Structure 1
Amino acid sequence: MEATAQQEQVRAIAERFVQIAPDGWARLVGNWEATVVDGEVSLNWITLGVVDLGDRWGAGQFGFDEQLYDLVAELNEGMAQAGERWTVLDLEVDRDGAFRTRFGYGPPTRTLGRPDEESLGRFEKYLDTWVAEHGPVPGR
């Protein structure tokens, strides 16, 4: 997958992520671990939204979306064709439209049944981290 096509696919993933986001979101966080099973990409995913609840921040995982899943799997396949199959994709999307991606190429530990701080722990504490950085009340 050429760099331009990769960027377009990542942008499509970020746009779909926003389309399925919960109301009042401030940041969306996605983490996908990819493995190939019987020739098909299989994704283990976490999609988390930080939400402005007015008097406090909230965070939680939101539901599965087949279109988002397919877009991420297509990115994995496209990059594999260029010899760059990733095993972990992180995506953060902020309300202002900024987004960041990070590809990992090591073992997908959550998928392998060995959850660690990177694959699971940071999501369990994501709201605490957000509040520490942004304060306990939105807009202040």
Structure 2
Amino acid sequence: MIKRFLVGLLQPSRIDIAALQDEVVRSVIADITNLYDGEWEDREWVYIAINHEVMIEEGRRSSTETAVLARKPGEELEDLNFRLAMATKEKLLSLRAAMAKNGKQPWTILDLTIDRTGHYDFAFGYGPPPRLNGNLLHTPLSDLLERYQAKNP
């Protein structure tokens, strides 16, 4: 018992990545009403997706594509774009840094999806981020509504 206690004291503390991911998800959900075009009004969201690229090594550059599938009562599902708050972007950077401290390579691309049930999925990429490397037409969320409807008829 004492040996296990001493080993625990000598090991560097591990950062709770799951808790940081939960914080990011809550922050993203809070941001969805900040639409690029129009007002949120009485919509209810169904599905959220973000594609976030980051390059810290070259002056902390980032590029984000966001989408929220939502509907007004009795109306069709619509695909809307929203702004991530600076606080949310900081949480993304904190998650990236924490993962690196826990021995992971720093990610450059994050794809995050959140559904209405609260289930979320983080997918990390480690290659060159397309938009930040000049491919300004890289829009992986452009057909999100069609893909969602195909999976959820």
TM superposition score normalised by structure 2: 0.75
Which residue number corresponds to residue 12 of structure 1?
A: 23
CA deviation map 1:25-69 (0-9, x unaligned): 10110111110145x533211121000233211012102311111
Mean Cα deviation higher: 92-101 or 78-87: 78-87
Structure with greater proportional strand content: 1
Q: Which ranges of structure 2 fall in alignment gaps of 5 or more residues?
A: 1-11, 34-42
Return the offset for 1:4. 5.2
Identity %: 21
Matched, 1:50 2:69: yes
Partner of 2:84: 64
1:129 aligns to 2:147 (yes or no): yes
Kept after mapping to 1: 8 A contact 2:112/2:120: yes
Give the alignment's Cα RMSD to 1 decimal.
2.3
TM-score (norm 1): 0.81
Structure 1 unaligned runs (5+)?
Answer: 136-140
Between the two proteins, the alignment pairs up a number of residues equal to: 131
**Alignment deviations for residues 58-91 of structure 1 (CA, whole Å, 9 cap, x no partner):** 0121023111111001112222333420011111
Q: 1:3 to 1:21 in 2, by over 3 A?
A: farther
Q: Which structure 1 residue ranges, 4+ long, deviate > 3 Å from structure 2?
A: 1-4
